[in-house]
Amino acid sequence: MKKTKLFFTTAMIAMLAITTQQLEAQDSKILAGGGLAYATDINSAAVFAKGVYLINDEWEASLGINYYFPKGEGAYEIKWLGFDLDAHYVFSKTDNLDFYGIAGINIMRVSIPGFDGYYEDYDFPYDEEPTASTGTISSTDTGINVGVGGRYKLSDNLFGLGEAKYAINNGGYLQLSAGMLYRF
């Protein structure tokens, strides 16, 4: 059993070394990173992680996740989590600066932990109502993203990122983002 584990571990390290060497020999088409964002109608800041695949000189595919900082509304704390699957069309490209249009799908999940509906219809044991709520209500909305973005080359593998996009879903919001991307 130990020999099998050693063999698989050695094989994985060898494959990783060969793959890394091949990637260094060519320009990678994968960028990944993160940053900070702000959403207007949510009125909350967020941290985001983003991956970009450079399809060709004009088209890119992007996948992102946004975690918005929870916000208190009365006795409850509202939490948002957003997912974006976008296409970028690069309409202006120089040696150090790219501008692109954004269009894609937005999925927003909103949850309110500790929210219980109505207690009247429930017979609590020992004639005591709970002192803390344990339920959660949540909603997931799907919409579209439209916007613009820019990427500035800071070094061979490091880029600054700025985007403004409007998510058209139940309510909608404008999101402004700034961050960094690393080319792998």
Reduced to 3 states (helix: H, G, I; strand: E, B; else coil), residue 1 is coil
Residue 74: the pLDDT is 72
20: amino acid identity, one letter: T
- The pLDDT tens digits of the residues spanning 138-159 come to 889 999 999 999 999 999 999 9
Range picked from 3-12, 48-57, 64-73 for highest mean pLDDT: 48-57
Residue 19: the pLDDT is 54
- Global pTM reads 0.73
More confident residue, 127 or 66: 66
Q: What's the rounded Cα separation, in Å, for the pair 38 and 121?
A: 41
Q: Is 43 left (phi over 0), alpha (psi -120 to 50) or beta?
A: left
pLDDT band at 66 (very low <50, low <70, confident <90, very high): very high
- The pLDDT tens digits of the residues spanning 3-40 come to 555 555 665 565 555 555 544 545 789 999 999 999 99
Percentage with pLDDT > 90 across the chain: 57
Please state the domain extents for the chain: 29-183
Which of 40, 4, 14 shows the shortest CA–CA distance to 167?
A: 40
Q: What's the rounded Cα separation, in Å, for the pair 22 and 5?
A: 26
The β-bridge partners of 178 are 36, 162
To the nearest 10°, report the CA torsion of 15, 21, 25, 27.
Answer: 70
The CATH-assigned architecture of domain 29-183 is Beta Barrel (2.40)
Residue 31: the pLDDT is 96
Which pair of tokens denotes residue 123? 């017979």
Average pLDDT of span 164-174: 90
Which of 41, 35, 97, 26 shows the shortest CA–CA distance to 64?
A: 35
